[in-house]
Amino acid sequence: MTTTMTIRLEDNLNERLSKLANATDRSKAYLATQALKLFLDNNEWQVTEIEQALSQADKAGSDQFADNEAVIAWMESWGSDEELPAPL
């Protein structure tokens, strides 16, 4: 099953797509679909990984994470005579 979708293209992008379609004897729709598939393949995994990491973080104990203020204070102390120990 397929669905029709309308998109607005900048003139230069439409021209590039038309040239590539002519050069490869493919339709602009085919090339756009292939480009969208590639984009999704290259980017979907990131969302999945972030969702899994957030789920794991929500289940983790507070001893597994450092407070943001503590990390900033530690980093700001670097190189000083009173350098703080790492927060964890």
Residues contacting residue 12 through CB under 8 Å, at least 6 positions apart: none
Residues contacting residue 11 through CB under 8 Å, at least 6 positions apart: none
Query: What type of residue is 48?
Result: T
**Is pLDDT of 64 > 90?**
no
**Is pLDDT of 61 > 90?**
no
Q: pLDDT digits over 9-22, tens only?
A: 999 999 999 999 99
How open is the CA angle 62-49-53, to the nearest 5 degrees?
5
Q: What average pLDDT does the segment 38-66 reach?
A: 92
